[in-house]
Amino acid sequence: MDNERSAKINIGGVDFELILTTRATKEIARRYGGLDNLGEKLMKSENFEMALDEIIWLITVLANQSILIHNLKNKDAPKDVLTEDEVELLTSPLELATYKNAITEAMFKGTARNILSEDNSKNAGAAE
C-alpha cells in the first residue's frame, strides 16, 4: 500500500493499514450520514461502551480496506478480513484510544487526496 493513503496500527502483533477508500466512505456514510457526522457521533457517544463499539467498527472497516485490496490483487493468496470480535479481543481500551489518531490520519489522507484531485482538475480546466 502507499503511505499517502494509509495510517498504520498494530493489533495483536500484526500491522494493519487503515485506508479510507470509496467503499469505506460509503459504509461510513450509511452508518453516520456522511463523514462530517462521524466526528460528532464519536464525541457525543452517550456512554463509554457505545464509543468503544463505534471505534471498533471504524477500525475494522478501515483496516479491512487494505486486506480487501490485497485480496483483489492477490487472488491466489487471500488474507482473512478482520472481525470486530478479533479487534475487541486483541486490543485494550487504552490502545483503542491511541488508534483514534490513526483513524483521523487515514480519514485526513483519504479526504485530502480527494480535495487535491478536485482542485487540480478545476485548475486544469481554468488554465485552458
- pLDDT tens, residue by residue, 110-125: 876 555 444 544 444 4
Tell whether the model's pLDDT for residue 66 goes beyond 60. Answer: yes
Within 8 A by CB and 6+ apart from 123, the residues are none
CB 82 within 8 A of CB 16: yes
Q: Where are the domains of the chain?
A: 6-119
pTM of the shown model: 0.78
Residue 115's contacts (CB-CB under 8 Å, 6 or more residues apart) are none
pLDDT at 47: 65
Alpha helices in the chain (DSSP H): 22-32, 35-43, 48-73, 84-90, 93-127
Residues 36-63: tens digit of each pLDDT: 777 666 666 566 777 888 889 999 999 9
- 81-111 pLDDT tens trace: 999 999 999 999 888 888 888 888 888 888 7
Which pLDDT tens digit goes with each residue over 7-41? 899 999 999 999 999 999 999 999 988 777 776 66
| pLDDT at position 68 over 80 | yes
**Of the candidates 27, 46, 45, 43, which has an alpha carbon nearest to the alpha carbon of residue 35?**
27
